[in-house]
Structure 1
Amino acid sequence: MITRKVYQPEHRSTGEQTREIPPRTVDLSQCPRQSENLQLNQVMPPSRSVSAPSQQQLAARQSLAKELPRFSGDPADWPIFISNYRYTTEACGFSDGENMLRLQRCLTGPALETVRSRLVLPAAVPQVIETLRMRFGRPELLINALLRKVREIPAPRSDRLEGLIDFGMAVQALCDHIEAANERAHLSNPSLLQELVAKLPADQRMMWAGYKRGFQHVDLKTFGDYMASVVQDATSVVSFEPEVKKNSARDRLKNKGFVNTHATDKPTNFSDSPKEPKESAKRSDCLHCNQDGHRVRECGAFKQLTVDDRWRRVRALQLCQNCLFNHGRRACRGRKTCDIEGCQFRHHPLLHSPSGPSKLIAPKVQVAENHTHHHSNASTLFRIIPVTVYGKDGSLNTFAFLDEGSDLTLVENDLATALGVNGTPHPLCLRWTSDTSRIENDSRQITIEIAGIGQTKLHKLVNVRTVSNLGLPRQSFQMKEAVRLYPHLKGIPVSSYQNVKPKILIGIDNLRLALPLKIREGDGAAPVAVKTRLGWCVYGPRGNSKRESYSFHVCKCSCDEDLQATVKEFFEIESAGVIPPETSLSKEDQRALTIIETTTKRRGNRFEKGLVWKEDHVEFPDSYPMALRRLECLERRMDRNPKLKENLHRQMREYEAKGYAHKAMPEELEAANPRRIWYLPVGAVVNPKKPGKIRMVWDAAAKVNGVSLNGALLKGPDQLSSLPGILFRFRLYCIAVSSDVKEMFHQLRIRDEDKISQLFLWRNNPSEKPTVYMMDVATFGSTCSPASAQFIKNRNAEQYAELHPEAAKAIVHDHYVDDYLASFSSVEEAAKVASDVRYIHGKAGFNLHNWRSNSSILLQKLGEIQQEAVKQLNLVEGGNTERVLVRD
């Protein structure tokens, strides 16, 4: 037997001591190609032997993410991290070498420091996982973290069901992990149970009292079951992603940032100096200038108008004069008066005029507003401190500006990008001196970790907003010179730096990092040294000599009236609705229309189309975990509702039978572009007016790291016919008829290269591994489906316009989405046109059904079943009406 000793250095931390694993003996006599193996082992340590990945594992690598979720050592994150690691390793056949690289990229903070020295040898990967488990993954650590989370969660209120849902799910997670860890003693903790029950509103405590009456033994598990039923009831009436979000006080606090103005050694460019707070802009467009990121009352162009021009613009845009919003006929919730110069009229302050709000022509005045700003070239040190910032792709050294005058923590976008930190896009509006504002449309809300230079303790910065450029002053500091001038700084551990520019501004929302723990001050105009949780920093004045300069900003407003423009605007308003407006397509609509035209092709009695992408090159993050979580949530819902389960499984079988979806083949997944792969989560919705009808939906708005399928698609131009015109023609003649296209979007086939972006997961048994399905047709949730459907409907009609001109015209002009509404002077004419419309639609796979008419003879001619009762098409309040133009 040939043996040799292989030295494996491995250090395990035990206080200040370290020990080495003794050499191990390797038997080379049983190994083929002994000489080659011996030579190889002499240059690198041996690793765990892993066979080549199977075909199934290679296919799994195309659909599963290679990257692991970030893990910094929080025990609450351990279950997700370890389950992801084990599942992907088994499914994809990752070797120890590949896992070593994955761990190097995902570990951060204390977790990385614990195993940093061992992440150099692939053979040490199993020991690294075991070390992490012993350090951060013990069940008691997770339970303590969940206990702390449940105790710290705000007490839910009866008027806010979202808080009740969060509390209930936290209790369920705690109970599940206690049972899984076999720590059942925690379930019988009466003090904890009483503490959690006390958090509930009074009405929920009464319901809990009635619920527990049916149990002999009541513990935390009983309370968790009760909260599960409460969460189920609450989620059925709560919408978690509303289209319109109220501008509550909490939202305003989230979206506005107060930033101080900072002097520099050079005259300041005030367009880059933040000073005054301003509320962050909504995602809606400004109706005045049609720009994103702000509203009319925040629009600089609107403020530059004279008061009379503002009034005219408000009336032209049909805005509320009180809040400057377009909320239609709905009463304005604002009740405040102007209060400028004692004005008691209910109009917005921007509409105030000394002559009164209703006066159209104001006297000619010239207003000059002077803003004087002081610049000082004094030798001043700001609170700048060197730090290390940690992100997904590693760490970077930079400088932070500690500013207690800012309520937000800001970071420059290039630093966040270099760290590989992604966040939720959220526009941010900043305003400076002289009323100068800047919109950060690309601002993101991120979370990063920070530590002082040379420190190991990390601090998490949440709700950090990215900006293109902070514009903070550059600063230099020489410690030796400072100690010579100010002896009280001697012994302070502060390093010198030269001409540095801070990339981070830490505001008062992270005040804990800026609090002085120790202070050392001198006499007179001398800087002070302060120790913070990020280390020592020196700041303050460095002398009494000053060189001052001033700059003036003058704003002149002219109120000259252009009579010709005023009259022209008057006639434009008066002619609204009489002369059809000229419509011009935006660049996005032009691109969308071009894609629809070039990708739409007839395939027999069906049309094929492509998805309307915003950009030619699209790259999606891994959406498989999100789709899997949503599937598991739907399965739990189906377990509680057997009828729902039976209905959805039946629909799924029908989808396969009709050719709407199919099981994705391994070769399809392997040949697909991995950057275009997207998994749509499956859901089920019920129309309250049709309680017996359940529709399967594919949520194209679901996001992963702020990215969704709909976010990558264009909506397309509005090609709908005028609804008032359709209704007017519908009431024109005595014979009325209506119908709608059955499953219109599902009749549109998707081209092969875009199907990979419409994957979804399904399984008949929750214990089985989910099967990957591919949607072959357009879905109801896709934002580009309506525009594509209208284009195909009209193109199909145009191809039969010569044979059936009246029917083709009706398809283009008398359809609203998939609803057909028309009226005729005779039954014979109605029967002919309606039959031709049905024939043309059939050539594109569109099936008209749900025929309705006030003429039973017409329905007989169309071969439809006689209606049992007369359907009333009236607008009388309280009368029986037949609903049309209502989405199912």
Structure 2
Amino acid sequence: METAGRRANNLMISSIDDKAKFHLPALIECEMIPDDRQELPTPDIANHFSHLKHIANKIPPVDPQVQILLLLGRDVLRAHKVREHINGPHDAPYAQRLDLGWVIVGEVCLGTSHQPKHHNVFKTSVYSNGRTSLMEPCSNMIQVKERIDKTQKSGLNITSNKGSTGKVQFGTAVFDKTNDDEKEALSIEDNIFLDIMDRHVHQDENGSWVAPLPFRPERRRLPNNRIQAQKRLYSLRKSLEKDSTKKNQFAEFVQKMLDNDHAEPAPPLEHGKECWYLPIFGVHHPQKPDQIRVVFDSSAEFDDISLNSVLLSGPDLNNPLLGVLMRFRKDPIAFSADIQQMFYNFLVEEDHRDFLRFLWFKDNDMTKEICEYRMKVHVFGNSPSPSVATYCLRRAAQKGEKIHGSDAKQYVERNFYVDDGLSSSPTPQGAIDLLKRTRAMLAESNINLHKIASNSGEVVKAFDVDDRAKGIKDLDLSSDPLPIQRSLGMLWDLDTDAFTFSVSSEDKAFTKRGVLSVVNSLYDPLGLTAPITIKERPY
């Protein structure tokens, strides 16, 4: 059992005759302390034994109206010092005089158990540590561990032994409820990640946010894995030579990274300097077959180590998807936007760029020699990149709050899921104003908010064609119906302002595996289709 209580210092205790006084260590408030009055010595007990009768007048009677409010533990060593001892016959109680008075010690309990009068069954008691015993557990055993909470603000005035009055920090209640009670606490590594970000993330002279690679505090030194990256590049070239379309898309993507200053020719390495080469490969999004994305394989191992294994992944800073979608449906005017190339908006500290080296062909020509490049921005494939990007995005919003408004900051902090921002407004004018202020706020950090879509044609008209979502760029908004827009994996019909679902017509075997394949292929985080996909079977 764990409880929270108050703590007080600078108190002292004295005996009833006021002859003994001494200071107490820090007192800790507890919900319960042992208060079994049967264990208190009384004059009657002393008079019952001939060897103790002469101290009966030195033991005060027990007052049933007085509460037992203080328990002195063994750490108050002086309170337990024996100044005088009366032994007596074998198996008889004995008495001890302490600084605070006389105590009588008899058969109260043995260790932590009361001795039973009879042992005629095999029934056992189980102690808190799991040990079984024929002895009955003592109900007067407690264990208190102190853990000081320095955040308490309230206090209580008490008077010390010197007569001065001071304020001791006390809690307002033993059990306090907070808004964070149901939230999962951050791990030690997550706190280290956030500390690294807090200390090192900054804006450069051009306004872009710069963040380090969050290395683990104790890690193995990375070996030079250039030979591995070179083998992977040769394998990639063979694959691209068989698919001219993919080859051209890959070359265009790499050239675009160089043109946008996301990558740069790598300078020569100093002798013995630590570095890492990232193997690269291309992936296609199922919904975007005409586009290819270059991914850096940060999980590729060389000599039993990879770049991701020495990096902190960071906490999940994303907003809950369900909350974003629910707020998206709150008001009648719904809108969405997207951050262009989310990860590439945030620079890597220059000292860490040699850990993001990669190999590619000179002049984007696969017949020419291999050259070394390195990324200047955080990349797809690095495990901490999502947390780094979300952290930096929120820093940009926090900095722009004073000029562009707290609602613009809140839109970024509460209504974004990775790079997609969904929200709603009571009026078209409110949505337009919020989007424009948010775009201006992020533009100050060289972050472009685009692909704007809304169920209101008035909102869409307020933005340039290039800033609109792909499906509505060439529409005549005065006459053409608004199309279906994909937002956070959901199909959003702008014209009817409703979520729709596209079900695969592919036939599957009527087996458990086939049924689960069809049901799970329907992306539905809100559970709107559950009454249809999950139905009881009539017999």
TM-score, length-scaled by structure 2: 0.54
Task: Give the one of 842, 849, 874 matched to 2:443.
Answer: 842
Change (3 A) 1:884 1:743: farther
Counterpart amino acid of residue 638 in structure 1: L
Give CA-to-partner distance per residue, 1:142-170, whole Å, 9 cap, x none: xxxxxxxxxxxxxxxxxxxxxxxxxxxxx
Give CA-to-partner distance per residue, 1:610-648, whole Å, 9 cap, x none: 000012664112311111111111100111001111111
Correspondences of 1:328-343 after superposition (within 5 Å): none
Alpha-carbon offset, residue 555 of structure 1: 7.1
Alpha-carbon offset, residue 689 of structure 1: 2.2
- Secondary structure at 1:802 match in 2: helix
Cross-structure match for 1:792? 392
1:650 aligns with 2:241: no
Task: Give the one of 650, 658, 664 matched to 2:266.
Answer: 664
1:756 aligns with 2:358: no
Alpha-carbon offset, residue 583 of structure 1: 4.1
1:686 aligns with 2:288: no
Give CA-to-partner distance per residue, 1:231-254, whole Å, 9 cap, x none: xxxxxxxxxxxxxxxxxxxxxxxx
Cross-structure match for 2:455? 854
Cross-structure match for 2:342? 744
Distance 2:248 2:125 in 1: 73
Cross-structure match for 1:620? 222
- Secondary structure at 1:850 match in 2: strand
- Secondary structure at 1:801 match in 2: helix
Alpha-carbon offset, residue 649 of structure 1: 1.1
- Secondary structure at 1:823 match in 2: strand
Alpha-carbon offset, residue 556 of structure 1: 4.8
- Secondary structure at 2:290 match in 1: strand
Task: Give the one of 165, 183, 187 matched to 1:586.
Answer: 187
Cross-structure match for 1:780? 380
Distance 1:752 1:622 in 2: 19
Change (3 A) 1:845 1:585: same
Distance 1:649 1:690 in 2: 17
- Secondary structure at 1:694 match in 2: strand
Cross-structure match for 1:10? none
Change (3 A) 1:591 1:861: same
Cross-structure match for 1:827? 428
Change (3 A) 1:884 1:800: farther
Task: Give the one of 606, 609, 612 matched to 2:208.
Answer: 606
Change (3 A) 1:708 1:617: closer
- Secondary structure at 1:652 match in 2: helix
Cross-structure match for 1:695? 293
Change (3 A) 1:366 1:740: farther
Contact in 1 for aligned 2:284/2:292 (Cα 8 Å): yes
Cross-structure match for 1:817? 418
- Secondary structure at 2:270 match in 1: helix
Give CA-to-partner distance per residue, 1:56-95, whole Å, 9 cap, x none: xxxxxxxxxxxxxxxxxxxxxxxxxxxxxxxxxxxxxxxx
Contact in 2 for aligned 1:854/1:870 (Cα 8 Å): no
Distance 2:502 2:197 in 1: 44
Alpha-carbon offset, residue 870 of structure 1: 2.7
Distance 1:825 1:649 in 2: 46
Contact in 2 for aligned 1:620/1:678 (Cα 8 Å): yes
Distance 1:870 1:876 in 2: 12
Aligned length: 317
Structure 2: which 5+ runs fail to align? Answer: 1-121, 140-178, 476-481, 485-492, 505-521, 526-539
- Secondary structure at 2:392 match in 1: helix
Correspondences of 1:175-194 after superposition (within 5 Å): none
Alpha-carbon offset, residue 795 of structure 1: 1.0
Alpha-carbon offset, residue 605 of structure 1: 2.3
Give CA-to-partner distance per residue, 1:224-275, whole Å, 9 cap, x none: xxxxxxxxxxxxxxxxxxxxxxxxxxxxxxxxxxxxxxxxxxxxxxxxxxxx
Change (3 A) 1:791 1:579: closer
Alpha-carbon offset, residue 663 of structure 1: 1.1
Contact in 1 for aligned 2:219/2:310 (Cα 8 Å): no
Distance 2:290 2:255 in 1: 19
Contact in 2 for aligned 1:735/1:827 (Cα 8 Å): yes
1:802 aligns with 2:398: no
Counterpart amino acid of residue 790 in structure 1: T
Change (3 A) 1:642 1:657: same
Q: % of aligned pairs identical?
A: 25
Alpha-carbon offset, residue 723 of structure 1: 2.2
Correspondences of 1:484-563 after superposition (within 5 Å): 556=132
Higher relative contact order (CA 8 A, sep 6+): 2
Contact in 1 for aligned 2:283/2:292 (Cα 8 Å): yes
Cross-structure match for 2:233? 631
Distance 1:781 1:649 in 2: 19
Cross-structure match for 1:870? 483
Alpha-carbon offset, residue 718 of structure 1: 2.2
Change (3 A) 1:655 1:801: same
Correspondences of 1:219-258 after superposition (within 5 Å): none
Give CA-to-partner distance per residue, 1:330-389, whole Å, 9 cap, x none: xxxxxxxxxxxxxxxxxxxxxxxxxxxxxxxxxx98699xxxxxxxxxxxxxxxxxxxxx
- Secondary structure at 1:685 match in 2: strand
Alpha-carbon offset, residue 722 of structure 1: 2.6
Contact in 2 for aligned 1:841/1:847 (Cα 8 Å): yes
Distance 2:228 2:124 in 1: 60
Distance 2:218 2:347 in 1: 21
Counterpart amino acid of residue 621 in structure 1: P
Change (3 A) 1:879 1:626: closer
Alpha-carbon offset, residue 599 of structure 1: 1.5
1:707 aligns with 2:305: yes
Cross-structure match for 1:69? none
Distance 1:732 1:811 in 2: 17
1:677 aligns with 2:275: yes
Alpha-carbon offset, residue 584 of structure 1: 2.9
Contact in 1 for aligned 2:203/2:210 (Cα 8 Å): yes
- Secondary structure at 1:620 match in 2: coil
Distance 1:367 1:854 in 2: 69
Contact in 2 for aligned 1:622/1:678 (Cα 8 Å): yes
Cross-structure match for 1:166? none
Contact in 2 for aligned 1:701/1:711 (Cα 8 Å): yes
Higher alpha-carbon Rg? 2
Distance 1:820 1:740 in 2: 6
- Secondary structure at 2:314 match in 1: coil
Counterpart amino acid of residue 387 in structure 2: A
Stretch deviating more after TM superposition (735-744 or 794-803): 794-803
Change (3 A) 1:556 1:813: same
Counterpart amino acid of residue 615 in structure 1: P
Task: Give the one of 724, 730, 747 matched to 2:328.
Answer: 730
